[in-house]
Structure 1
Amino acid sequence: MPKQVKLAAHFPGVNNTTVWSDPHSGSQIDFSSFEHLARTAERGKFDFLFLAEGLRLREHAGKILDSDVVGRPNTTTVLAALSAVTTRLGLAGTLSSTFNEPYEVARQVASIDHLSGGRAAWNVVTSPDAWTGRNFRRGGFLKREDRYRRAEEFLATVRELWDSWAPDAVVGDKENGVFARGIERFVHSGPQFDIRGEFTVPRTPQGQPIVIQAGDSDEGREFAAKTADVIFSRHGSLESGKEFFADVKRRLPAYGREPGELLIMPAATFVLGDTEEDAHEQAREIRYQQVRPATAIQFLEQVWSRDLSAYDADGPLPEIDPDPDAEPLTWGRVRHEKDPLAVAAKWRAIAEEKKLSIRELVIEVTARQQFVGTARQVAESIDEYVQSDAADGFVLVPHLTPGGLDAFVDDVVPRLQERGVFRTDYTGDTLREHLFSR
């Protein structure tokens, strides 16, 4: 029997995946946009909708990036609202373990699980810099190793809170004259957290909401193998996907876990066309819309840590090398290279080999895994990745908000269903049932 494909939809929000100039591009903050994408994903029988988190607007050279000026609404608020307009779709949100506290995150996620009837998921991330920390009263930042220590204890503490109510716990049983039964006082005393009391939210429909983890470092992979239900990976090519898949799955037995207990779902984009040639031409046009000349120069400046505004984005790479000792020009994006000189050397080699301009190089090195072709070809490719153990499924990131997922649901999902690798209807009510039921 073939493996079943898992699918999630990422709200494209504020990033360079979104094509702002397209006449079909809509609001990134109106609730109607979130509702449209969620309803489309549920119509396509997707496992869950995925929201990122932005704790500070990204900046470049001291100015807010133009893609962020629309703002970033609170993740849990949006998910709570979406629970009222969906019935089966899982609702996953990113919440930082660096600038939040276990008690409040446990309450927020447990509350969404109750509101949605068991469809909540939490994407656990760490936040790396003091720049983000300035938005919070304690400010500052944690070193990399300390972030993961905090994250691991943070998650363990949240799980303790979720488990502090027994499955059959009751409050206010008038018939039997019992005020409370099955509610344990929680006590957690560790290097990161020292808290005690009573958790205010009863045990949730899932018992434990789904936990997603997005780290790619060795520490992140180990953390996911030990604690996560889903890992949100950036490894999109078939070969790198297989390597990542095998590496993470081999770590599971050390924690008493089976390979099927952790799902690997890379991010992926898609472009559909009436013919393969048409799809590839559309994909090329979309990438040029996503990476405008100013965007290409800004991206290069992230690595060079120099003002490169005088350079032509359609010209060659600068002859000058990055400044490895300079403060980063860009804040709030993931890319902060440990060895910018090595990155520059690698990019120079790629640009020379393929005769690429700055803009063409940025398009080359920033491309997500893309499925490009006819609907049938895209369905075949997705199935190949899953059956080849390069992934368990994909988190799809459309380039348009809010209607970018419509064509995939209308044209690709039926072909996956025809192949017998994707559900024709939901068979369970909770997200855990969607992801792990046989």
Structure 2
Amino acid sequence: MSKPLKQIHLAAHFPGVNNTTVWSDPEAGSHIEFSSFAHFARTAERARFDFLFLAEGLRLREQGGKIYDLDVVGRPDTFTVLAALAAVTDRLGLTGTINSTFNEPYEVARQFASLDHLSGGRAAWNVVTSWDAFTGENFRRGGFLPQEERYSRAKEFLATANELFDSWHGDEIVADQATGTFLSDAKAGAFVHTGRHFDIHGQFNVPRSPQGRPVIFQAGDSDEGREFAASSADAIFSRYATLKEGQAFYTDVKNRLAKYGRHHEELKILPAASFVLGATDAEAEELAREVRRRQVSGATAIKHLEFVWNRDLSAYDPDGPLPDIDPDPGEHTIARGRAQVRMYRDPLATAREWRELAAANKWSIRDLVIETGNRQNFVGSPATVARTINDYVQADAADGFILVPHITPTGLDVFADQVVPLLQEQGVFRTEYEGPTLRDHLGLAHPDHVPGQRAAS
């Protein structure tokens, strides 16, 4: 008996200041005006995507003491944008990255519970930790927490937030509708939490939301991050670009679920992926080469190399060979506030690997950055891209993908118009939303219906 086809989950990352974006394209628009966010969200919703995802920017990124060019117009607040999008969409999930290092559980739980109410059950929280003191300079706490402490705090932060979400149960509250007075002894929202990182008690002031709790995402790739996702998350982002790497990550993370009493379907694995479409595969390949050249200018290639080398490499020719000097493995002072730094945990090993690749392929610095900087790219005709996405999902390399177009805000339109219908024809992607909440879209149970997931009253 053949294995039933898995249903594909699709989401869209508003690219904004992401390096994927080609700002020189005539169609490129603002990444801060609300009309851009609204167009992008409405496109994702008409394509029946699961959710829209917004990253977080707590500080403008710097390099060489100068603000990075993509950040010069600013980075708007995630909650403000998602709340506004709740008013112009009906079913699309609304996912935002909110830091657990520089916030407090009560504040974040209140904001997400409010967003879940405003959106009718479509809120999701990507729980992240801060990794650098540079970002911490904007906050009282600073960036003093080492990695193991950051995850310890994040785990307790999420557990505390869940206690707050669960503290107001509708079946415990009886009120006189005429007078608005409580008729029972139950204290709505009462909570007490005493732990290593948080010692709080009081009353949570937002009623139980439509989803019970927002959907929880996690993005860490370290062993601690994978374990955190297996124990607590509903979905995890993946950065693996090949089928084999994707399958290895998928198997590893899914196999960790059992120790927490969870099943495979309770955690979705969703890599980010860019795409380039053409009338034919050859046309798409040619366009993809042009897109990558425009994404990685000579100056950008040098700046990217500085992430790893932790040195000023401005004197090097981007069309020449890689530096013969080794990276400085000390504290990062060149690239500040750049997420890419975290991807290269061993800069000396990365430099050796890159030199070998460059020598074998006769690549310049710019060539190397172009070739090694790709996420999982889907390049080809609509039929080819639809087939490739389905192949990855059916082969358990992913449960779906978070698409990152290279044009803001219209870059998602062509995928919605040309690829989604093909996936629908294959029976692997919805033609209509099955329910009103993001948990419905992702096939996740309401926390009140999952044993052990609701706090004791």
Q: Which residue of 1 aligns with 2:203?
A: 198
Structure 1 129/333 Cα, relative in aligned 2: closer, same or farther at 3 Å? same
Q: Which residue of 2 aligns with 1:150?
A: 153
Q: How many aligned residue pairs are there?
A: 438
Give the Å deviation of 1:322: 1.5
Q: Which residue of 1 aligns with 2:32?
A: 29
Q: Which residue of 2 aligns with 1:297?
A: 302
For 1:240-389, list aligned pairs within 5 A: 240-325=245-330, 327-336=332-341, 337-389=344-396
Structure 1 164/326 Cα, relative in aligned 2: closer, same or farther at 3 Å? closer
SS in structure 1 at match of 2:329? coil
**Unpaired segments of 5 or more residues in structure 1?**
none
Give the Å deviation of 1:177: 6.5
Corresponding residue to 2:224 among 219, 224, 227: 219
For 1:108-147, list aligned pairs within 5 A: 108-147=111-150
Kept after mapping to 1: 8 A contact 2:164/2:189: no
Kept after mapping to 1: 8 A contact 2:405/2:411: yes
Corresponding residue to 1:185 among 179, 185, 190: 190
Alignment deviations for residues 284-312 of structure 1 (CA, whole Å, 9 cap, x no partner): 10011111111100111111121111111
Taking the aligned partners of 1:364 and 1:272, their CA distance within structure 2 comes to 19
The TM-score, its normalising length taken from structure 1, stands at: 0.98
Give the Å deviation of 1:100: 0.7
Residue identity opposite 2:403 in structure 1 = L
Kept after mapping to 1: 8 A contact 2:280/2:381: yes
Give the Å deviation of 1:349: 0.4
Q: Which residue of 2 aligns with 1:48?
A: 51
Alignment deviations for residues 301-351 of structure 1 (CA, whole Å, 9 cap, x no partner): 111121111111111111122222364300111233432211111100010
Query: Which has the higher mean CA deviation after the structures are superposed, 51-60 or 139-148?
Result: 139-148
Residue identity opposite 1:145 in structure 2 = E
Taking the aligned partners of 1:376 and 1:180, their CA distance within structure 2 comes to 61
SS in structure 2 at match of 1:277? helix
SS in structure 1 at match of 2:424? helix
SS in structure 2 at match of 1:303? helix
Give the Å deviation of 1:193: 0.3
Residue identity opposite 2:350 in structure 1 = V
Matched, 1:406 2:409: no
Give the Å deviation of 1:236: 2.6
Kept after mapping to 2: 8 A contact 1:167/1:207: no
Matched, 1:392 2:395: no
Structure 1 vs Structure 2 CA RMSD: 1.4
Q: Which residue of 1 aligns with 2:97?
A: 94
Taking the aligned partners of 2:391 and 2:102, their CA distance within structure 1 comes to 39
Give the Å deviation of 1:176: 7.7
Kept after mapping to 1: 8 A contact 2:121/2:437: yes
Taking the aligned partners of 2:59 and 2:174, their CA distance within structure 1 comes to 40
Residue identity opposite 2:62 in structure 1 = E
Taking the aligned partners of 2:211 and 2:372, their CA distance within structure 1 comes to 40
SS in structure 2 at match of 1:98? coil
Residue identity opposite 1:224 in structure 2 = A
Taking the aligned partners of 2:56 and 2:156, their CA distance within structure 1 comes to 21
Structure 1 177/44 Cα, relative in aligned 2: closer, same or farther at 3 Å? closer
Residue identity opposite 2:51 in structure 1 = F
Give the Å deviation of 1:180: 6.4
Taking the aligned partners of 1:157 and 1:34, their CA distance within structure 2 comes to 31
Residue identity opposite 2:19 in structure 1 = N
Query: Share of identical aligned residues, percent?
Result: 66
Taking the aligned partners of 2:169 and 2:84, their CA distance within structure 1 comes to 28
Corresponding residue to 2:19 among 5, 16, 26: 16
The TM-score, its normalising length taken from structure 2, stands at: 0.94
Q: Which residue of 2 aligns with 1:236?
A: 241
Taking the aligned partners of 1:70 and 1:423, their CA distance within structure 2 comes to 37
Kept after mapping to 1: 8 A contact 2:83/2:115: yes
Kept after mapping to 2: 8 A contact 1:169/1:180: no
Kept after mapping to 1: 8 A contact 2:130/2:143: no
Taking the aligned partners of 1:238 and 1:138, their CA distance within structure 2 comes to 41
Alignment deviations for residues 232-267 of structure 1 (CA, whole Å, 9 cap, x no partner): 111131100000000000000100000000000000
